[in-house]
Structure formats: C-alpha cells, structure tokens
Amino acid sequence: MKFNLFRAADGTEGGGSPAGPPVIAAPPVVHSSAPMGPTKIAARDVSVFYSGKQALYDVTLDIPDKTVTALIGPSGCGKSTFLRTMNRMNDTIPGAKVTGRIEMDGEDINAKSVDPVLLRARVGMVFQKPNPFPKTIYENVAYGPRIHGLAASKSELDSVVEASLKRAGLWEEVADRLHSPGTGLSGGQQQRLVIARAIAVEPEVILMDEPCSALDPIATAKIEELIDELRERYCIVIVTHSMAQAARVSQRTAFFHMGRLVETGDTEDIFTNPRERRTLDYITGRFG
C-alpha cells in the first residue's frame, strides 16, 4: 500500500499544513512488490556519445510495464542521458550518437522506419523545470491531441482536456480558469499541468527527468502521489536525485555511476540489500 502522508488536510496545495512528518525526515519506505507488467522497454548495450565523448557505457536494462522504475545516481552519471534515449530526444542534440539497441514492445525504436515524432507520441516526457507553453492551460493540454490529430471535434477535445487534467489531479484547481495562462500557475501546478499535457496523447511510457527537483515538499508529495496513480496505466521511468523519493515512488531501481549501470533490481532489494559496494555507499550518503 502507498502511504499518503503529506497531503494537506483540505486537499489543496500549500494551503493547509501537512498532516504528517516532513518529507525529508521520512525513512526510505520499501514497497511490497507491486504487480509488475511485462517488459515494456528493453535496452541492450546502449552507449551514448556527445561530440565523440562517451557519456553512457553499454547499458542493458529491462523496464517493466505498469511499474515505476527509478534511475538514481550522482550528478553526471548518465541517468538523464539514458532517459533521453528512450524517446530519442538525443536526436535533437547536434553531435549526439546512440549505439546499441532499444526495443519497445519488441520493436527497435532507433530503426529507420520509426519516426521520432510518432515515438514521442507514445513516450511522453516531463522535465526537471516545469515548462508549460506560454499559452492557456487549455491550449497546453490540447496541444498534443491537436498536433497528432487525436480529437475529431471540439467537444471531444474538451473532454480529453478535462480527463487529462483530472487524471493529473489539477482539474479542481483550474476548472474555472482554463483560459488563463499556464505560466501563471504555481511550480507544482505547472508540473502537474505538464504531466496532464503529456498524458493527453495517451502515451504508453512517461519519462520523468527529476520532476520534483524544483518543487517544495508539499508539491513534491502531490506529484509523487500522482505518479503512483499513473502507474496503473503507464510504464513510468523517473530520474531522481532523492533516494527517499526513489524509495517512495518506485518498484524498480537502477543505479548509475560514471556512465555505467551498476546495479538494478527491485527497489526494496536495492535499498535494503544492495549487491554492489558503490550502491551501498551511494544510498547511505557516503558519496554523491
């Protein structure tokens, strides 16, 4: 069972006082093994080079469906780089080169026949800094369905927007101001807006690159709760600097160090019984 410690009593963000102990002090909670889906993404010997400089070395990792997989490790360890290979965002960086094989549902996503535009409709992404478009809340969420031609009519689009905002837990806060700018929301609300924008196109995978690092503890708790709810429908991969967060939200954890995947396994095992010395040192705060 997931805990729900930090939700404000009235269910709003920042308004009431947290009903539990502060997030920072929370001990790493170990999940009982949640039901995991079959392998959604399979990475085999994935290496990434930026202008000839290698940033990632031969990563082989299976990412199960309907599961939250946390990528942890110190800064510059390659976890974000690996995350960005899964929706081919590295394609947009001049001089970036990806080798190895990444399969999604058995299909090579780097194949010539795969259009990165279509891939990104299947693999959504949430960034470290909330980056809503400088448009209205409605336009932000409607953007994906619009460019991919997913909504046939205005009313269909309206219902997609509403459903996405509801699923992202933002509907009640913004229902009366859908046509005000998305950039006017608080940081935590913006991040949930961005998540709503990502799920509006019904992706299969959601990649999150340190989604809470710019947020306060209460907003963080809300996002974590949301991630746990989204797990039922999506394959989620989250990069995080916070060990406590990895422990709270993920079922699988992969520890990266110096561009290599050091260890991967059930979150519970990684945090209680790491096999590698480096993992132990990192999770106990001896470096990182």
Among 2, 44, 97, 135, binds other proteins (CB under 8 A): 135
Q: Does 18 bind other proteins (CB under 8 A)?
A: no
For residue 121, the minimal CB distance to other proteins (Å) is 4
Q: Where are the alpha helices (DSSP H) in the chain?
A: 79-85, 116-122, 137-147, 154-167, 171-174, 187-199, 217-230, 243-249, 267-272, 277-283
Closer of 119 and 157 to other proteins (Cβ): 119
Question: CA torsion angle for 145, 64, 45, 259 (degrees, to 10)?
Answer: 80
Pairing of strands 68-72, 53-64: unpaired
Tokens standing for 101? 């094989």
Q: Does 66 bind other proteins (CB under 8 A)?
A: no
CB 224 within 8 A of CB 212: yes
For residue 22, the minimal CB distance to other proteins (Å) is 29
CB 107 within 8 A of CB 40: no
CB 169 within 8 A of CB 192: yes
Closer of 121 and 218 to other proteins (Cβ): 121
For residue 180, the minimal CB distance to other proteins (Å) is 12
State which of positions 139-158 bind other proteins (CB under 8 A): 143-144, 147-148
For residue 2, the minimal CB distance to other proteins (Å) is 27
State which of positions 86-125 bind other proteins (CB under 8 A): 87, 89, 92, 94, 117-121, 124-125
72: closest CA among 61, 228, 191?
61
State which of positions 177-236 bind other proteins (CB under 8 A): 181, 183, 194, 197-198, 201
Interface contacts to other proteins, rule CB under 8 A: 87, 89, 92, 94, 117-121, 124-125, 127, 129, 131-135, 143-144, 147-148, 181, 183, 194, 197-198, 201
